[in-house]
C-alpha cells in the first residue's frame, strides 16, 4: 500500500505492508516503510533520454537497411509462404545478433572495471 504527497516538484511515496501504517512521516520510515522520491524533472529527463535512444536506434536500423547486408535473409532463417499467410522467423539472424551483442556487452563490462 502506498501514500503519496506532493512536496514541490517531487513526489514522496511511502510503501508499507498494511494501509493502517501508510503515512508520510518519520514514524512511517521507522516502522519499516520505504520512502521513494520521484522528481518530475528527473522523470522527464529519463523520458527525453529514452526517446533520443529510440530515435538513434531507428536511424541506425534505417541506415543498416540501406546497406546490402543479408540480415534477415541468412541461410537457416525460416520462411513459410502459404496461400494467404506468410510466417517468417529469422533464427540464424537472431543467433548472430545475440552473439554480437553478448560480445559487445562483455567488452563494455571488461573495460568498465
60-106 pLDDT tens trace? 888 888 888 887 788 999 999 999 999 999 999 999 999 999 999 99
Distance separating alpha carbons of residues 37 and 88, to the nearest angstrom: 45
| pTM greater than 0.85 | no
Find how far residue 76's CA is from the centre of its chain. Answer: 29
Q: What is the CB-side half-sphere exposure of residue 71 using CA atoms within 13 A? A: 14
Amino acid at each position: 500500500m502506498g501514500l503519496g504527497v506532493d512536496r514541490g516538484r517531487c513526489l514522496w511515496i511511502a510503501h508499507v505492508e498494511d494501509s493502517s501504517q501508510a503515512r508520510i512521516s518519520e514514524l512511517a520510515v521507522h516502522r519499516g516503510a520505504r520512502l521513494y522520491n520521484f522528481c518530475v524533472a528527473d522523470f522527464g529527463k529519463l523520458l527525453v533520454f529514452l526517446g533520443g535512444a529510440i530515435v538513434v536506434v531507428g536511424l541506425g536500423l534505417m541506415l543498416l537497411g540501406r546497406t546490402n547486408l543479408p540480415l534477415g535473409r541468412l541461410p537457416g532463417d525460416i520462411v513459410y509462404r502459404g496461400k494467404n499467410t506468410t510466417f517468417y522467423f529469422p533464427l540464424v539472424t537472431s543467433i548472430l545478433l545475440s552473439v554480437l551483442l553478448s560480445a559487445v556487452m562483455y567488452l563494455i563490462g571488461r573495460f568498465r572495471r
